[in-house]
Amino acid sequence: MNIEDFRDAIKRREYVEKISLGEWADGIEECCKKEIEILMTDIESTIAFLKNDCTSDEFVWISEIIDDLAAKTQSKELIECYKSLMDKFPEECKTYSIKESIEYAEAELIGGSEDGQN
């Protein structure tokens, strides 16, 4: 994963949010697609980024796309790593309902356990 490309995509996402006055815009969708593309290129390096370099702001922005990322990668390890950041960023979790984002992401994983849980 290219961290600088990811951070540039986040900056672009913030910019589009600002100029669209908080309304959902096509540019936001494009930014989200770019973020997903970057994060899914190398799951191992994405997990390393999450564990070692992810900021609270980046954590929040990823929550916006974590379910789509889970659907595309089908990586339970990625979701577990992301979930582990909840302890590191508790205020962001409360403010941005990140637990719910993670639940949506887990629901995107195909082939959960036998009892229907992921």
pTM recorded for the entire structure: 0.86
Structural domains of the chain, count: 1
Query: Is 93 contained in some domain?
Result: yes
Closest by CA position to 102, among listed 61, 63, 75: 63
Residue 114 located in a structural domain: no
Q: pLDDT value at position 91?
A: 97
Q: Tens digit of pLDDT for each residue in 50-79? A: 999 999 999 999 999 999 999 999 999 999
Q: Which domain holds residue 31?
A: 3-107
The answer to whether residue 60 sits within a structural domain is yes
Lookup: tokens for 16: 């589009």
Identify whether 34 is part of a domain: yes
Give tens-digit pLDDT for 71-117. 999 999 999 999 999 999 999 999 999 999 999 999 999 865 434 44
Distance CA 43, CA 68 (A): 14
Give me the pLDDT at residue 112, please.
54
So what's the pLDDT on residue 83?
Answer: 96
Count of beta carbons in the 10 Å neighbourhood of residue 76: 15
Residue among 78, 74, 82 nearest 101 (CA):
82
> 113 lies in a domain?
no
pLDDT band at 23 (very low <50, low <70, confident <90, very high): confident
